[in-house]
Amino acid sequence: MTMHNTDPKWRPRSARARPSRSPLIGLALLAGWLTSPRAGVIDDFENGPNWDGVSDDSGILEVEIVDGSLRMSRGAPSSATVSGAWYWHTYVIPEDRSLEFRLDSVSASSDDLATSFWFEVEGAQRSYGIHRSRRVMWIGKVWMPWGVNWFVEEAPIPEVTDPVTLVYSFTRQGDDVAIRAKVVMRDDPEQVVVELPPVIDTPGRDMLADGTLEPAQTASPHYGPSMDVALGLAMLGGNAEPISLVVDNFTCSEDPTPPALHAGLAGDRLRLSWVGAWTVLEADSPAGPWAPALTGTQVRLGLPQKECSLVATGPARFFLLAPGVSRANSFIDGDTGWRTCAATPGTACPRLMRAGNGYRITGSGGANQDFLLLQDDHLLYWQRDRVASIDLAGWDETMVGATFGLLLRVAKEDHIWRGGDGLPEERYEGAVTFRTADDPTESALTISGPGGEVLAQARFPLLDPARKYRLRFSAFGDELDLAILDPTSGEVPLAACHAADDRLPVGMPGLHGSRSTGDVYELTVTDLVFNGTARSGPGPGAP
């Protein structure tokens, strides 16, 4: 892939791959999703942010809505360069028509603090990136996560402290993509502050940073579909003092473009595959209601291709894609970024260790305390409708009153929950009590809501710690369902309970355990699976 313009300063340095596509097989598929009620508006921040997630490895990013605008701040020194918010919208750069994004940059606390935009293109985590500070504006190809630039086209700009609008456009002519970037005054759009020369990206093999040519098979056009779009703040070299950036009115000239949902039969299973930050919904009819697919589902993640496999027998079902995320087998794929954390900051908690194809949670004495099971990941995301499951085994049979639960729609006023600050009051939890305190012959399922309020409960005969069980919890609209199943004997629950509650329409996921009234907490967890629709997407439950 080669990018060029007429400026002799232009220096191409790299490129990326374009995936192959499997043929579409004629099954009951709907490759698309409901049209957004506000076409063209990605986020106006009037009622809080509507993003799908945040990427921030500083650990100190703060977010607030001020007068209908988004303020992103880092209140302490950090070596992190970029913090960004992304939206799971898929776009294809049209031919002979511009795909234009606009973002108001209201204020910045430093001349070196840049307002950033990324258009992530199909294939891997590679994107077109455009930064603008008070001093300079540049266009480049970047690697996601942030920080590696293959080449840059930049220009100094006149210093402007009043609010401006950043205008970024992409136009395709055949396999070529023309990229344009300019800054105009927000309150006088005809007044152009700076405009970069057009940059043309054409297929070809670019020179990599180490001086070698990229592989021939990766030299392909970059016109989409996009994986997502993102905005953020960038501070090269980190910041030695607090920084803040205020932005508003993030829009696009086109509606998002649904990707293709491919299907094929493999024995008695239906295999679905797709590209990008989307998830599969299923329904009994094209009219819905639609819910994230999980029953009998195996999800395999890859970049950019994702795939799930479902039992193909039974009544007819319909499938479509909605913006969202699926993950599976998070404990058996070699993940090492998991840790336990105190549910109440400042207290002790059980420790975590690898145990075969899972994790063993152990805590005795003072370490037998309420805890969270978290993954060290700078990618934080929100969802609306979700179904989640986890397999449980090998708990200490003397545990009394101890629970383990799946958290859905965890919410905080400052919009970012990392786990290290404890368990917020606003959440839904579906938990199993291994041995109830008042009847040692029983186990229990409990659905709780904000403040830990019990919404529903079901008791049943005591679970056997020598067997494996699957805990499954879902939140579809205001419907909450919790079940315990035997993963080896089908989908009929051993016990289940249901509640209806509409106080939390969106939030973040998590895992939570509570202490035993005895001396020890011991439990092995494996096979975490979740599937859900995005916050900004128009899937089920969207306003």
- Do 338-534 and 2-19+39-252 have the same topology in CATH? yes
Mean pLDDT check: name the lowest of 210-214, 288-292, 514-518. Answer: 210-214
- What percentage of residues in the chain have a pLDDT greater than 90? 38
State both tokens at 108.
Answer: 């910045």
Q: CB 437: neighbour CB atoms within 10 A?
A: 12
| CA–CA distances in Å: residue 170 to residues 91, 173, 435, 474 | 11, 10, 60, 40
Whether the pLDDT of residue 1 is over 60: the answer is: no
The predicted model gives 106-114 an average pLDDT of 87
In the chain, where are the structural domains located? Answer: 2-19+39-252, 338-534
Cα 179 from chain centroid? Answer: 27
User: DSSP states of 241-283 as a string?
Assistant: S-EEEEEEEEEESS---PPP-EEEEETTEEEEEEESSEEEEEE
Could you tell me which residues are beta bridge partners of residue 323?
278
What is the biggest distance separating any 2 CA atoms in the chain, rounded to whole angstroms?
A: 80
Q: Between these two residues, 19 and 75, which has the higher pLDDT value?
A: 75
Give whole-number Cα distances, 417 to 282, 396, 410, 516, in Å: 30, 31, 8, 26
Of the listed ranges 70-74, 223-227, 304-308, 442-446, the least confidently predicted one is 304-308
Chain-centre distance of CA 235, in angstroms?
23
Q: Which amino acid is at 335?
A: D
Q: What is the DSSP letter of 535?
A: S
Is the per-residue pLDDT at 313 higher than 60? yes
- 373 in Cβ contact with 524 (< 8 Å): no
434-461 pLDDT, tens digit per residue, is: 999 999 999 999 999 999 999 999 999 9
Segment 174-200, tens digit of pLDDT: 888 889 999 999 999 999 999 988 888
Predicted confidence band of residue 428 (pLDDT cuts 50, 70, 90):
very high
For residues 272-300, average pLDDT: 73
Q: Six-digit token pair at 226?
A: 């996009």
Give CA–CA dist 400/437, Å, rounded: 6
pLDDT confidence of residue 71: 94
Condensed to tens digits (0 to 9), the pLDDT of residues 236-271 reads: 555 667 889 999 999 999 888 777 888 888 888 888
Sign of CA dihedral 249, 192, 230, 74: negative
pLDDT at residue 366, as a whole number: 92
Instruction: Return the pLDDT at 304.
Output: 54
* Position 497 pLDDT exceeds 80: yes
Cβ atoms 250, 138 nearer than 8 A: no
CATH superfamily, with its number, for domain 338-534 = Exo-inulinase; domain 1 (2.60.120.560)
In the predicted model, is pLDDT for residue 148 greater than 90?
no
pLDDT digits (tens, 9 = 90+) for 64-94: 999 999 999 988 777 777 788 988 888 888 8
Domain 2-19+39-252 class, CATH top level: mainly beta
Structure tokens at 447: 């659905």
